[in-house]
Each structure stands twice: as structure tokens, then as C-alpha cells.
Amino acid sequence: MNKKETIFVGVSGGVDSSVSLAILKEQGFNVVGCFIKTWQPDFIECTWKEERRDAMRICASLDVPFITIDAEEEYKNAVGMYMVNEYKAGRTPNPDVMCNKEVKFGVFLKKALELGAEFVATGHYAREKDGKLLKGVDDSKDQSYFLWTLTNEQLKKVKFPIGHLQKSEVRKIAEKYNLLTAEKKDSQGVCFLGPIDMKDFLGHYIEVKVGDVLNTKGEKIGHHDGALFYTLGERHGFTITEKGTEDKRLYVVGRDLEKNTITVSENINQTKESKNKIKIQSINWIKKPEEGKTYEARIRYQQKLEKCKIKGEFVVFENEQSLATAGQSVVVYDGEECLGGGIIV
């Protein structure tokens, strides 16, 4: 790649994007730091201005041009309202997947190319090679799961400068450049919405209806804020009132939206919805899998990869999957390569 080519780098005010910017500048590219302004509803404490300030300071310390790209409208509609509508429909969406599709590699990529960039770069722990998407080297941070909606053409315009690094190495590089984000904690929460409680956010759009928490025998043992708000495998946000002397951690293993109940168990795999054949929709194959060939896939972030085969719109696992939740993503791998995936029906 010609080192004089221009790369617009998404800088969020965090350490990963800061180091991505520093690496590309050191490699000799024309880099521009870009803060992507997203939507925050009025009832959430404003955090984007502080993050933007940190991003500006990083760019100033590296002597890099800085611009702000406004993606507020796209983020509100394609991520925020998407989440609300999916929960209303009884599904559990994955906002990070949609944020990458519609914002970072949607409006950001489009506007960057319009403004003269040849490429965009982000601080994702993933790798790109000749239009292929590969897992990040740091297994504990690999984010390819959230990038399955990208296309070959998009990937040819994308760079992941830290995908070959361990998180500890990224921190050391930040220290080397005296970046103010070197010891900054990683952001938590939903993409750019900040560290908010999901139920608090949804409660502004969906009526909260208190319901019963049941054990696997169907006995009432507590209460919750509304079955719509919970996903299989969740272990927080409900209240147990019938406690024993040796209580263990409880997981949501079932939901009845009509009766507004959730069922919990000490065994996370005790869901009534276990199955090995999972139907998917909104399918995107970066590289189309061969029918009959054995691959690996996961149905939630950082889940252990499970062997499977692809049969049309179905992913057929060798083992039953107990936490397959409508609205979540199934992402398929061939070794290190992410082939793409789809949304669970």
C-alpha cells in the first residue's frame, strides 16, 4: 500500500482507537482523526462531549488533523430505535452489530470516502486480508463477532491496526507515545450510548410490567421488571424473594411473554429452547460456506466455538445450543476466517 494514501481513523477517546491512529501515522500514512458523533437521548447523562475532547487531545498530541462526523440521525434510527422495536417484538437485538453495520462502516465509511479518504481504520480487535475478515490475535478481545455484516468491498477499504496485537501490547504502545488514554478504562455498555442500564433505557419507550420469576418446577420465587427485557443466560436484574440457605447463581432459562414470566435455574443449560438446528435471516456471507463442510460458529460473544454445518438458511450444530435467542447473531468461522453469519429467527 502506498504510504501517502489517506486513512480516516475513527477516534472514540479510548486507548484502542488512539493507538490505531499512532500506529498508522508512524507507518507514514496521511491520517485524519475522526470523532463519530452519535445520538444520546435527553434522559441520559451526556458523555460524548467528554469523549470528543479526549479524541481531540489525542490528535493534537500526535499532530494529526481532527474532524467530527455527524452520525446522530443514522444512529438514532438504525441503532437506538432498532433496539426498542426489537425488544417490543420480543427479540433480543445486538446493537453493537448494527452500530458497526450502519454507523462505523456505513455512514462513517461513506462520508470518509466522499471527503477524500482511501481507507478508514478503527480500533477493533480483528484483521482484514484481501477482503477477508480474520479473528483478532487476542482471543479474549476478538471482535470479529460484531463485524459479520461487512462485505468484501467494505473490507477492502478498512484497516484494523491493532488486530495483530494483545491488549497488553496496545497499552504499552500508548505509554510509548505518552497518550492520555494509556491507562483509561475500557468503555462499557451499549456501543456509544454509554454505561447505561438497558432496562432504564428501554423503560422510556416500553411500559414496565412487573411479572413473576419461576423456578423450573413452575413455582413463584421472585419478581422481575418485564419478560421483554430479559435474554436467555442473563443472571442480573430480577429479584429472588424465596431464598434458600445455599443459594447459587441463577440464570434465565426461559421466557413466557404472554404470561410475562421468566424461568430461572442454577444450570445455564436447562433452557426449554435447546436446539441444534438454528434458522437465521438477514444473512451476510463474506465468503460463502460450502454445504456439507464442517465449520465452527458461536451464538453469543466470546462463547466457545461449536462445530456446525450450513444448510441453506439453517446452521446445524453438532451439539444442542441452549441459549439461542431470537434477534442475536450466529457467526460462522473457518479457522481464523470469519465467513459471516445471520440473525436468529
Instruction: Tell me which residues are annotated as active site.
Output: 99, 191
Q: Are 330 and 314 in contact (CB under 8 A)?
A: no
Those residues with Cβ within 8 angstroms of residue 292's Cβ, 6 or more apart along the chain or in another chain: 309
Q: Identity (one letter) of the amino acid at 336?
A: E
Element (H, E) at 316: strand 314-321
| Cβ partners under 8 Å of residue 308, min gap 6 | 294, 295, 296, 297, 315, 316, 317, 318, 332
Q: What angle do CA 342, 326, 44 make, to 5 degrees?
A: 100
Q: Which amino acid is at 277?
A: K
Using CA atoms, how far apart are residues 33 and 11, in angstroms rounded to an integer? 6
Q: In this structure, how many other beta carbons lie within 10 angstroms of the beta carbon of residue 195?
A: 11
Question: Which triple of cell numbers denotes residue 90?
Answer: 420480543
β-strand 126-129 against 239-240: which pairing, if any? unpaired
CB atoms within 10 A of CB 227: 22
* Strands 158-159, 119-121: pairing kind: parallel
- Residue pair 305/296 in contact (Cβ under 8 Å)? The answer is yes
Please report how the helices 15-26 and 48-61 are oriented relative to each other, as an axis angle in degrees rounded to 10. 20
The radius of gyration of the chain from alpha carbons, rounded to an integer in Å, stands at 21
Distance CA(124)–CA(14), nearest Å, equals 11
Closest CA to 324 of 338, 339, 303: 303
Q: Which three cell numbers stand for residue 144?
A: 470479529
Spatial CA neighbour of 240 closest among 260, 215, 218: 215
Asked whether the beta carbons of 43 and 3 are under 8 A apart, the reply is: no
